[in-house]
């Protein structure tokens, strides 16, 4: 999906045009009530236009409105948005967030919003969630990242399609000028909510939005297009290299043959094994390769020894997350999800750690560090459930749920 010509930015978007954008981002499940397509709707012009267009594209869509409860009027705005959606024939659910800890408000609000949206999508059977980022959001992101010295990965900008946890986030409007979205709503006589924080220069993004000139936006689009191409070529090379040189084991660790050690493979594998959404910095990756072993981003890279001629990547015990309550199938350590439906009250998910003592790592074919960093169900200081792939009695289903692909994140981009 390339940038569309913006000769007349006021021309409303037609249903056929939107459908063509959606087709380019498929495949999609059949249009059925059992698996509606999710819509993230704030009530602003962009996401309301998205909802209106999406409803013309298919019958079964389900909108989620997150009320951050940070302003006194937000609950009423969320209700008003739900009503506007219902008038367009779009069913809507309001998700109200609890209070936030102080500091880094925008970032925390965004993370909490996505976590809540992901859970709501899973509950409602939505595999895909559409969000309304548009061309100007992309320009601003790329310009901000360029200003901060980002490399090619960052300059590739916001992805049109990306896996986030258990769902796929899709951004069909990334190549669309925001004026066209407002024009679309006006043509359909629809109103929207203006969020005052979108004008607040205290936020860095708002300053970029207001200050970018047309030629700076054009420049940002050139950087982004170049970076997307560069990323696609690097990704293809990396996928090839990993297919030939790496083995990813079900217990969450990776073997990489000596020939396969390079900046891209180490960076991707550190991120994969840690379950982090972020890549380690380039300098740190290069220094780790130079040393040949060490710890980076919560992952240990060391000589593979009995596992072959290369290195292994294992989750570092001292970096694993503290135990979490096991009820409700939570994600633990950004890596594992326990699918056990009923767990006794007071059960926790935590690292196997000392609970690995009775297990023979050598016979299981797992490095000791990887074994200790596996998840287990704990109750009153005792292990009551091991992951099922260890194939022992009394195991419980744990699945890898890092939700971050090793390559191909920016495969489709605006």
Ligand X SMILES: Nc1ncnc2c1ncn2[C@@H]1O[C@H](COP(=O)(O)OP(=O)(O)OP(=O)(O)O)[C@@H](O)[C@H]1O
Which positions from 179 through 218 interact with ligand X, judged by CB under 6 A?
195, 198
Q: Which is nearer to ligand X, 66 or 160 (CB)?
A: 66
Peptide bond into 27 cis (omega under 30): yes
Structure tokens at 352: 């196997």
Q: Going along 141-197, which residue ranges are E strands?
A: 161-164, 167-170
- The CB-of-365 to ligand X minimum distance in angstroms stands at 44
Decide: is 91 part of the binding site for ligand X (CB under 6 A).
no
Contact flag: residue 121 with ligand X (CB under 6 A) = no
Instruction: Report, in Å, the least distance between residue 222 CB and ligand X.
Output: 23
* DSSP assigned state of 193: P
Stretch that binds ligand X, among 130-138, 222-230, 302-310, 363-371 (CB under 6 A): 130-138
d(CA 26, CA 3): 18
In the complex, what is the shortest distance from the CB of residue 275 to ligand X, in angstroms, rounded to a whole number?
Answer: 24
Length in residues, the chain: 414
45 is in an annotated binding site: yes
Q: How far is the CB of 48 from ligand X (least distance, A)?
A: 7
Q: How far is the CB of 317 from ligand X (least distance, A)?
A: 37
Please, which of residues 7-66 interact with ligand X by CB under 6 A? Answer: 40-42, 44-47, 64-66
Separation of alpha carbons 396 and 242, rounded Å: 30
42 is in an annotated binding site: yes
Q: Is 347 in the site for ligand X (CB under 6 A)?
A: no
Residue closer to ligand X by CB (options 205, 257) is 205
Is residue 159 part of an annotated ligand binding site?
Answer: no
Scanning residues 136 to 155, which ones bind ligand X (CB under 6 A)? 137
Q: How far is the CB of 364 from ligand X (least distance, A)?
A: 44
When binding is defined by CB under 6 A, the residue of 92, 120, 121, 133 that contacts ligand X is: 133
Per CB under 6 A, contacts with ligand X among 371-390 are: none
Nearer to ligand X, 106 or 357 (CB): 106
Q: Is 388 annotated as a binding residue?
A: no
State which residue, 109 or 247, has the beta carbon closest to ligand X. 109
Which has the closest alpha carbon to 253: 77, 73, 400, 58?
A: 400
The answer for residues whose C-beta is within 8 angstroms of residue 290's C-beta and 6 or more apart is none
Q: Please check if 381 is assigned to a binding site.
A: no
**Concatenated DSSP letters for 240-293?**
HHHHHHEEE-TTS-EEEEGGG-SHHHHHHHHHHHHT-SSPPPHHHHHHHHHHSS
Reduce the secondary structure of 342-393 to three states and give it as a string: CCCCCCEEEECHHHHCCCCHHHHCCCHHHHHCCEEEEECCEEEEEEHHHCCC
How far apart, in whole angstroms, are the C-alpha atoms of residue 193 and residue 173?
Answer: 19
Q: Which is nearer to ligand X, 67 or 333 (CB)?
A: 67
Output b/e per residue, 99-131; b: 16+ Cβ within 10 A.
Answer: eeeeeeeeeebeeebbebbbbbbeeeebebbbb
d(CA 94, CA 46) in angstroms, rounded, equals 18
**Residue 128 interacts with ligand X (CB under 6 A): yes or no:** no
CB of 406 to ligand X, least distance (A): 26
Largest CA-CA distance found in the chain, in angstroms, rounded: 70
Question: Is 232 flagged in the annotation as binding?
Answer: no
* Residue 158 C-beta: closest distance to ligand X, Å: 10
* Interface with ligand X (CB under 6 A): 40-42, 44-47, 64-66, 113, 131-133, 137, 195, 198
Positions at the binding site: 42-47
Q: Which residues are annotated as a binding site for ATP?
A: 42-47
């Amino acid at each position: 999906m390339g940038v569309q010509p913006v000769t007349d930015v006021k021309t409303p978007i037609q249903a056929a045009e939107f459908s063509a954008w959606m087709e380019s981002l498929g495949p999609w499940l059949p249009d059925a009530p059992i698996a509606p397509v999710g819509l993230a709707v704030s009530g602003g012009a962009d996401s309301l236009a998205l909802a209106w267009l999406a409803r013309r594209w298919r019958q079964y869509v389900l909108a989620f409105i997150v009320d951050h409860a940070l302003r006194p009027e937000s609950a009423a705005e969320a209700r008003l948005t739900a009503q506007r959606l219902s008038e367009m024939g779009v069913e809507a659910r309001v998700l109200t967030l609890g209070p936030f800890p102080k500091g880094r408000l925008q970032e925390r609000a965004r993370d909490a919003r996505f976590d809540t949206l992901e859970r709501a999508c899973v509950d409602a059977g939505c595999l895909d969630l559409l969000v309304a980022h548009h061309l100007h959001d992309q320009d601003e992101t790329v310009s901000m990242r360029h200003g901060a010295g980002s490399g090619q990965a960052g300059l590739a900008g916001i992805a049109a399609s990306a896996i986030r946890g258990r769902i796929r986030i899709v951004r069909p409007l990334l190549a669309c000028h925001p004026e066209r979205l407002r024009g679309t709503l006006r043509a359909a006589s629809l109103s929207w909510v203006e969020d005052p924080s979108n004008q607040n220069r205290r936020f860095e993004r708002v300053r970029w939005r207001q200050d970018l000139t047309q030629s700076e936006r054009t420049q940002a689009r050139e950087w982004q297009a170049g970076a997307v191409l560069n990323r696609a070529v690097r990704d293809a090379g990396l996928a090839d290299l990993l297919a030939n040189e790496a083995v990813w084991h079900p217990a969450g660790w990776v073997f990489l043959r000596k020939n396969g050690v390079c900046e891209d493979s180490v960076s991707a594998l550190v991120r994969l094994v840690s379950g982090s959404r972020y890549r380690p910095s380039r300098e740190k990756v290069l220094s780790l390769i130079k040393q040949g072993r060490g710890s980076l981003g919560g992952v240990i890279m060391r000589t593979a020894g009995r596992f072959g001629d290369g290195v292994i990547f294992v989750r570092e015990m001292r970096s694993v997350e503290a135990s979490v309550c096991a009820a409700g199938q939570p994600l633990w350590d950004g890596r594992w999800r326990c699918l056990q439906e009923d767990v006794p009250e007071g059960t926790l998910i935590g690292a196997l750690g000392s609970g690995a003592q009775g297990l023979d790592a050598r016979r299981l074919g797992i490095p000791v560090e990887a074994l200790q960093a596996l998840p287990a169900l704990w109750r009153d200081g005792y292990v009551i459930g091991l992951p099922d792939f260890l194939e022992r009695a009394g195991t419980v289903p744990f699945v890898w749920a890092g939700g971050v692909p090793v390559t191909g994140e920016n495969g489709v981009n605006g």
